[in-house]
Chain A
Amino acid sequence: MGDVVTMDDLTNDEIIEILDCAERLVPVARGDVILPLLDGKVLANMFFENSTRTRMSFETAMKRLGGSVLNFSSIGTSVAKGETLYDTMQMIDGYADVAAIRHPRQGAAQYSADAVEIPILNAGDGAGNHPTQTMLDLFTIREAHGTLEGLNVVLVGDLRYGRTVHSLSHALVRFGARLTLVSPNTLRMPDEIVSDLRSHGAEVTETESLIDQITEADVIYMTRIQKERFPDEDEYAKVAGIYKLEASDLSGAKKGMAVMHPLPRVDEIDPSVDTTDHARYFQQAFNGVPTRMALLCRSLGVDVPKKVKK
């Protein structure tokens, strides 16, 4: 019931409700206000694949709310000895009240949700979904533009393997966004996703050119070409470094246009962009904390107070 495996697990009203809760929790996320809403609760951070921001922001979110965290890594544990995901999750079902799971295999989060009683938050499954990232992305977009409705969002880079953009694009079209998908041909958004987006009535344009899109964009969402998801080095070399955004490219951009990136970046965004008003990616990384706080509260059935006082 509190599972969030894909964005389909949340209605538009629920998304807005979670974003509103996250907004109220910002002072708690910063450590300015002490609010132990999740005192006595335990989060299992089940990371079968490496993560920096997602794992740490889940941990901070839980701890800032007075809860505690079990950190699991598949290296050197029973998983390395051949334990099934089912068995590992059975164990966690007995140890924790909620679990965040990241796994290299697609479908692992849904599989875990079916295997256990406790709520599962999908923290990324293969090239599948990453809905908690989507929630923080939506939070960041709303923070920049005051709304999610009717924006022109340009998604750039690895749209084939990038789970972040898969979840985000689904969510954005539900709020009436216009999507421009910019990628090399080999890294196009999978057909079934494009067909889903269009069936929602969304205007979706696919192109290989980023520069032509800058002046009309409300959001430019850059992604890293993920070396680790390529079957071979040659294919990677053909597309590595294909999109680079520099401060000088943004001279014609709309005021308020937000440049976002799930991070880590390699060379997609030049450091010269960091000091422009368009740069939102570090704020975006912080926003992972209040949004994951709100998601943890929802999964554990804990209400966030209407007013969070100092």
Chain B
Amino acid sequence: MTEMRRVTAIRNGTVVDHIPSGHAMQVIRILRIDTARATPVSLVMNVPSDKLGRKDVLKIEDRELNQEDLDRLALIAPAASIAIIRNHAVAEKMRVELADDLVNIARCSFSNCITKNNREPLPQRMRVVSHDPLEVRCYYCGRGQEIGELVENII
């Protein structure tokens, strides 16, 4: 049986496909998508996927993700595929790639880290010490950061 189209196609914007099942809400947070904004955001969760078994898909109208967005996205959806849509057609395809050094993406979750003082001017930095399984540590204090914490502390 053909899979029924769950969300209409978009005219301009970005489709984020192959988000791990159940993580679309985290993607919305990490991309700082303002859910109160006027343009539509479509979210599909737990649909069957050959690649992931189950996946989430996000369609964001009138916003083209940039490199900084992709760096953030890589934390949650390292296998995501991105399509930039212009005038109903795929104008560009992109893949996410997690950098080794994450600058000003999330604040350290550790209560005693030097960066907890908001007035300290140097950037927030995280080091990706392992990509698979994902292991992220604060560059300054060395504390390991859970993905949930990173999403919670997104800048």
Contacts and interface: CB of A to CB of B under 8 A. Distances in A.
Majority DSSP secondary structure for residues of B touching A: loop
Interface in B113-155: 113-117, 119-122, 137-144
Nearest to A126: B112
A111 B119 CA distance: 13
Contacts of A128: 141-142
Contact of A106 (B113, B117, B120, B121): B113
Contacts of B143: 106, 192
Contact of B140 (A84, A104, A111, A192): A111
A115 B122 contact: yes
Interface in A180-217: 191-192
A110 B125 CA distance: 11
B109 to A, nearest CB: 12
A110 B140 contact: yes
Interface string B96-124: 00000000000010101111110111100
Contacts of A104: 112
Contact of B142 (A85, A105, A107, A115): A107
Interface residues of A, number: 22
A181 to B, nearest CB: 18
B113 A192 contact: no
Given A128-B142, A192-B137, A111 B115 contact: yes
B122 A126 contact: no
A114 B141 CA distance: 13
B144 A107 contact: no
A86 B120 contact: yes
Contacts, number: 61
B121 A84 contact: yes
A307 B138 CA distance: 43
A151 B139 CA distance: 31
Nearest to B144: A192
A200 B36 CA distance: 49
Given A106-B142, A126-B141, A192-B144, A111 B120 contact: yes
Contact of B114 (A82, A111, A129, A191): A111
Interface residues of B, number: 20
A104 B140 CA distance: 14
Contacts of A129: 142
Interface string A102-122: 011111101100110000000
A178 B132 CA distance: 28
A192 B143 CA distance: 8
A79 B137 CA distance: 28
B141 A107 contact: yes
Contacts of A106: 110, 112-114, 140-143
Interface string B24-56: 000000000000000000000000000000000
Contacts of A219: none
A128 B137 CA distance: 13
A125 B142 CA distance: 11
A148 interface: no
A103 B114 contact: yes
Candidate in A85, A104, A105, A110 with the most chain B CB atoms within 10 angstroms: A105
A110 to B, nearest CB: 5
Contacts of B139: 110
A44 interface: no
Contacts of A114: 122
24 contacts: A84-B117, A84-B119, A84-B121, A85-B114, A86-B120, A86-B121, A103-B114, A105-B112, A105-B114, A105-B117, A106-B114, A106-B141, A106-B143, A107-B108, A107-B115, A107-B140, A108-B114, A108-B140, A110-B139, A111-B114, A111-B115, A111-B120, A115-B122, A126-B112
Given A84-B121, A105-B113, 7 more contacts: A84-B117, A84-B119, A86-B120, A105-B112, A105-B117, A129-B142, A192-B143
Interface of A: 6, 82, 84-86, 103-108, 110-111, 114-115, 125-129, 191-192
Interface of B: 108, 110, 112-117, 119-122, 137-144
